[in-house]
Amino acid sequence: MDVSKWPLHKRMALPDWCFGPKWWLGDFIGTAAAGVTYFFFSDKPPDVFCLWDILVSPAGIVAGIRADVTICLCNETPVVGNIRTLTRLMRQFGTPGAFYNMHLPTASATHVGPMKILVEANNQGIGGALKLLSETATTETSIAVLISALPREVPDWVVSGLVRSR
């Protein structure tokens, strides 16, 4: 059954397996230090996608050092003056207007998920900011998001099963 014309919220209500393949979108950020490191993913996401997971993976970091991260929709690498005004991928986290919306322990790779969040990118890319909370620690860091497109076709029995279950 064609569900491509359904409202987005109804497509998001379909079972997870209907969303098809998921893929990681991200980049190696390079050496991050006590200052703010801004980044922009070289690959663009679809105009509308589902966010399933976020991975922040530092290498060689000292245990106990924390990282603050924000991930936004943008058209180029964010800068100090505009990052607070960009649309965040995870508006449910953090304080509106705050610079960072995720405070992560970085003794190892951190997954922020599982989740199922609708994101309307409208031809924008993904970027953000990372800050290590240490004056001396540096680390090589990668940041990635696990995404998928929204379902366009589902078997008829999925839709008839949803109708009967409500």
Residue 52 has pLDDT above 90, yes or no: yes
Write the single-letter amino acid at 110: T
**Between 59 and 5, whose confidence is greater?**
5
Residue 166 has pLDDT above 60, yes or no: no
The pLDDT tens digits of the residues spanning 63-106 come to 556 677 888 899 988 887 787 788 888 765 655 555 665 666 65
The pTM of the full predicted model, rounded to 2 decimals, is 0.81
Domains of the chain: 8-151 (2.60.120)
**Between 30 and 52, whose confidence is greater?**
52
CA distances from 140 to 26, 28, 84, 99, 158 (A): 14, 8, 25, 22, 44
Q: What is d(CA 156, CA 150) in angstroms, rounded to the nearest whole number? A: 17
Q: What is d(CA 30, CA 141) in angstroms, rounded to the nearest whole number? A: 6
**Between 140 and 130, whose confidence is greater?**
130
With residue 65 as reference, give the H or E element that holds it: none
The 3-class secondary structure across 115-164, one letter per residue, is CCEEEECCCCEEEEEEEECCCCCCEEEEEEEEEEECCCECCHHHHHHHHH
The pLDDT of residue 24 is 93
For residues 141-166, one letter each, b for 16 or more C-beta atoms within 10 angstroms of the residue's C-beta and e for the rest, the string is bbbbbbbbbbbeebeeeeeeeeeeee
